[in-house]
A = this chain, B = another copy of it.
Amino acid sequence: MFLSRKKGRAVTRPRSRRGGGRPTIADVARKAGVGAITVSRALREPGRVSEDLRRQIQAAVDELGYVPDPNARALASARTEVFGVLVPSLTNNVFAEVVRGIYDSLSDSPFRIQMGNTHYSGLEEERLLQVFALQRPAALIVAGIDQTPLSRKLLETAGCPVVQVMETGPDPVDMLVGFSHFDGGRTATEHLIEVGYRRIAFIGARMDPRSQRRLAGYRAAMEAAGLFDLRLVTTTPLLSSVTLGRELLRDALAKMPALDGVFCNNDDIALGVLFECHRAAIAVPKTIGIVGFNDLDMMQAAFPSVTSVRTHRYEIGRRAVAMALAAIAGQRPQQRVVDLGFELIHRESTAR
């Protein structure tokens, strides 16, 4: 029910017309006997307010239960305490870990997180970036370095620190934390070659730019050893899954029955390959060697355990936040590109 249906009756105290009655900075200022700005300063830059007033103000804040309104703050200062995070998938364990690192690093800062899911689509990424840029975020963290020209321009003109993650490269928009997928793919393949496998297949799903680079690394290693053959490569645009791994191994074997090793695009695929080997009674590592990518927990638990390229996803998230926070604080890091590397973890699936 509303105050006045007809003629605006008497003045009816317009106090907190819409605000929901929460205490405002003015209430705190009044109670503490100081100016509103001083309260604002005491909260944001305590060093610039005298010990005395600071205590008074803190008392008033506590008593009233005052908490600053983030929207008003954002409007007045033209900047928000929001990190925009853009990833291609929410269910892919790899990005989930990066995001977890980001969350954990931000959990006791005043910053909030707004997440976007690009579904591996450049267009979707552009759209989300447009939306995010409007918020004047404190920082943007985006996966990958293969932005469309428009996306790249949006990032460059966002007016906030930008961290690209999950890759490495010479030309970041601003900052970059990750590792070389090419090197990862090459290292994995070289390992298979070293151990004695020869007809080594590449099996990959959803060939996003990172997968492409792993494939390029595989190819480089195979060519260097004089072993490359296009019929060894099996890919699909479908989303990666364990089931798909099984199917792809069947396809690969159909094309090339004699293959004796598999470098898998990722661990889900690798697990599917392993299961298919079980089902087809193919001995691992004797008949076929398997290497995965990312080293999810299950690779270690599998039977036989599976060799995989361990990547530091959680740490990537943490470093990205650390760099962004430093940049916000005005300290651009001397190192704009951080390569966190990877490690090949040798396990039973290639132990022969």
Contacts and interface: CB of A to CB of B under 8 A. Distances in A.
Nearest to A77: B18
B278 A301 contact: no
Interface size on A, as a range, is: 35 or more
A97 B91 contact: yes
Contacts of A115: 103, 113-115
A209 interface: no
B78 A18 contact: yes
A329 interface: no
Nearest to A272: B301
Contacts of A300: 242-243
A58 interface: no
A302 interface: yes
B131 A112 contact: yes
A246 interface: yes
A304 to B, nearest CB: 9
A99 B90 CA distance: 8
A71 B75 contact: yes
Question: How many identical subunits does the complex contain?
Answer: 2
Given A69-B75, A80-B71, A242 B97 contact: no
Given A78-B19, A298-B271, A117 B100 contact: yes
A96 interface: yes
A23 B80 CA distance: 19
Interface string A254-292: 000000000000001001100110110000000000000
A134 B74 contact: no
A241 interface: yes
A72 interface: yes
A177 B104 CA distance: 28
Given A103-B115, A114-B114, A268-B298, 4 more contacts: A69-B134, A91-B96, A114-B115, A272-B301
Interface of A: 18-20, 67, 69-72, 74-75, 77-78, 80, 90-91, 93, 96-97, 99-100, 103-104, 107, 112-115, 117, 131, 134-136, 159, 241-243, 245-246, 268, 271-272, 275-276, 278-279, 297-298, 300-303
14 contacts: A20-B78, A20-B136, A20-B159, A70-B135, A71-B71, A71-B74, A72-B75, A75-B75, A90-B103, A107-B117, A113-B115, A114-B114, A241-B298, A279-B303
